[in-house]
Amino acid sequence: MGYPDQRFDVNLSILFTELPLLERPAAAAAAGFTAVELWWPWIETPTPPQAELDALQKALDEAGTRLVGLNFYAGRLPGPDRGALSVPGEESDRFRANIEVAADFAASVGCTALNALYGNRVEGADPQVQDALALENLVLAARAADRIGAILLVEALNKPESPLYPLVGAPAAIEVVDKVNAATGLGNAKFLLDLYHLSMNGEDLSQVIKAYAARTGHVQIADNPGRGAPGTGSLPLERLLDELKDAGYTGRVGLEYKPGDRPSAEAFDWLPASARADR
């Protein structure tokens, strides 16, 4: 058990960001990783030119890295936004324009997990209207994911850092997962269990794992406090990942932490090099 028994991937939207996007897959490979994930890389547009999509595909291929997780368009992330699909008007339209683009790109690189961040509450908008819009868009996203043999992920964030985001606990995200699956009948909506966010909410992590491991499609980690690498805070991440495995979770663990003041390549000393390649 322990870290060497897990399947890890590196989030290239929070690690290796000192490098241009197209150089990050090779940097992750040089650090020993063969699986990576990304937030939507084109913050300004849900529909980038095909040449830019092709260039990213080539960078992944040449590095020998597989993209295993991709966010749909989520607005300005990092930044003030926390998704677009529940935001009425232009942002919802942008999310819808992105659905097939993201799904097609995921299919082209063999990515089978697509994360749809819910979006913030908007001042003056009826929360029930936002939730109805969110369900409509999540249903569209789930169907697009199903078309390429992928799962749709719904993520809970944390209230201190995302006070306007309504899914700030595991039960809230699970409720949305269940609604999407009921609406589509596909069963491909899953929970994205981020141990950092849930710990920031003060949730009982062991209890969350016991309750929801079977409905979890992806796991992400960072230590708390600080959102740094494992060992920089006080979360018992190794034990918690063992609990997930014992509860039946067999998926990957995304490394979504800040490298601190050092280069990203030096932020993996907690993980033996032999345990970094995907298995």
Tell me the catalytic residues.
155, 256
Strands of the chain (E only): list them.
8-11, 35-38, 66-71, 113-115, 151-155, 189-194, 216-221, 253-255
Q: Which backbone phi and psi does 69 adopt, to 5 degrees?
A: -155, 140
Bridge partners for 154 per DSSP: 191
- Please answer whether residues 188 and 146 qualify as being in contact, where contact means their C-beta atoms are separated by less than 8 angstroms: yes
Computed over its alpha carbons, how large is the radius of gyration of the chain? 17
Q: How far is CA 228 from CA 21, 79, 90, 224, 268, in A?
A: 21, 18, 34, 7, 11
* Neighbour count for residue 44 (Cβ, 10 Å): 6
Q: Which residues have C-beta within 8 Å of that of residue 260, sequence separation ≥ 6? A: 228, 229, 232, 267
> Three-state DSSP class for 113?
strand
| Assigned token pair, 80 | 């003030």
CA-closest candidate to residue 196, choices 233, 171, 164? 233
CA-closest candidate to residue 102, choices 46, 54, 20? 46
